[in-house]
Structure 1
């Protein structure tokens, strides 16, 4: 049994599903607590700083409530964000359009105001580490990539990186359907969550994740999304590049 609930302030903490990171998440009323052991404190502190920064922008999200450190690790306490994750809602053109608008709103935040750079060289360095540790999760890879050695996939990234155009914006960093919440009646975006990778990067860092999600969740193509986003003819090479890079950075 985890030690974290006994360390959190008050009683009544219930475990909830977590993301892909090595954290445990608990909820009590309208408060979430994301907990980690000592090895994850630096990463969780980075998420804390991003939550606090985003709360001062026009993009809705969680509010930072508390930060607790113990000898065993740390906990990030944030307010719950109202709404329902996009992944839990039925497909509609309006929902896809709202998702595009929400992502565009993140990308429209002033780059000069964001203190969290995520240069491509650093992201690829993370991929180098994950691959060299043998920590790539094949479940995150596209079907045709699962038959290829991770080292070869990484080599493809390195070979193509200098050919990628750069269009820096404030990126969510993990722009997946579970991380964007909507009012189920109006389908207006009520907030974004899980912003641990938020930072200044090429907009395709986020855009590349969208087509596969729309296909996996609703079996629709991404043409409507890109039209609503304002990019009716996205760069196919950059979509492919960042879609390949992303799963190599989790592990």
Structure 2
């Protein structure tokens, strides 16, 4: 999913903070930091309880497919399941109210891959994203995963059993966090997590890196060598075309 970084502020860019978010934040400071293409907002809160993030997603006007794509109740379940095996934000609370859903997670002491400090250090970020996805795919157990990936069975490209992994589902650049040294730290935004062809993740992760909003050129060779796989151009092309139609 496409995301837009929003300048910090309360409110910012003409955005009004929903009353429920203010209730959840309590006395904490609140700033909006992300906005997605389906009207969802992410807020960072900071106070005596430390740093937390609150996602807010209205459902009014969304199609069933769009609602499924940003279902924060399901994302909370997936975070709790995945958190048994890999580094993801810890769920604090979640729920639905007045045609919108919300999800509160603890902040991870890490830096988004789109942070300005990584500008001019694309190779560092590419290695971190590839390393993170390899760990994700290796650690999450396919045999006990209760979630089906969005694109399984989407075409004649039915993946062989050895290609099936638990995919992130939205492995775009903003969804990887790095430590201060530039190494992989954690993943966020797991609403699309599920069993699927690993190339559904690999094709989109590399595609996202090349977008102008991120690093503006392909780093496929570095990514795939770091991940430890030879490029499968047929599947790369298929999943990128599917993403563009999604």
Aligned residues: 209
Q: 1:117 matched to which residue of 2?
A: 148
Q: Give the superposed CA RMSD.
A: 2.3
Change (3 A) 1:54 1:224: same
Q: Higher strand fraction: Structure 1 or Structure 2?
A: 2
* TM-score, length basis structure 2: 0.75
Q: 1:162 matched to which residue of 2?
A: 156
Counterpart among 91, 98, 103 of residue 64 in structure 1: 91
In 2, the alpha carbon distance for the partners of 1:46 and 1:77 equals 13
Q: Give yes or no for the alignment of 1:213 onto 2:229.
A: no
In 2, the alpha carbon distance for the partners of 1:163 and 1:73 equals 36
Q: 162-171 or 192-201: which moved more?
A: 162-171
Q: How does 1:54-93 map to 2 (within 5 A)?
A: 54-57=82-85, 59-88=86-115, 89=118, 90-91=120-121, 93=123
Change (3 A) 1:6 1:248: same
Counterpart among 4, 9, 21 of residue 5 in structure 1: 21
In 1, the alpha carbon distance for the partners of 2:144 and 2:38 equals 27
Q: Give yes or no for the alignment of 1:245 onto 2:235.
A: no
Q: How does 1:7-46 map to 2 (within 5 A)?
A: 7-11=23-27, 12-29=29-46, 30-39=51-60, 40=67, 43-46=71-74
Q: 2:175 matched to which residue of 1?
A: 179
Following superposition, the deviation at residue 175 of structure 1 comes to 0.6
Q: 1:224 matched to which residue of 2?
A: 222
Q: 1:236 matched to which residue of 2?
A: 233
> Any conservation in 2 of the 1:171–1:199 contact (CA below 8 Å)?
yes
Q: Which structure's relative contact order is higher, taking Cα pairs within 8 Å and 6+ residues apart?
A: 1
Following superposition, the deviation at residue 48 of structure 1 comes to 1.1
Following superposition, the deviation at residue 245 of structure 1 comes to 0.8
Following superposition, the deviation at residue 22 of structure 1 comes to 3.2
Residues 33-90 of structure 1 deviation map (CA, whole Å, 9 limit, x = unaligned):
1112354598121111111112111x21100001133234321100112222223313
Q: Give yes or no for the alignment of 1:101 onto 2:99.
A: no
Q: 1:150 matched to which residue of 2?
A: none
Change (3 A) 1:94 1:34: closer
Which structure 1 residue ranges, 5 or more long, are not aligned? 125-160
Q: Higher helix fraction: Structure 1 or Structure 2?
A: 1
In 1, the alpha carbon distance for the partners of 2:38 and 2:78 equals 16
Which structure 2 residue ranges, 5 or more long, are not aligned? 1-15, 61-66
Following superposition, the deviation at residue 121 of structure 1 comes to 5.3
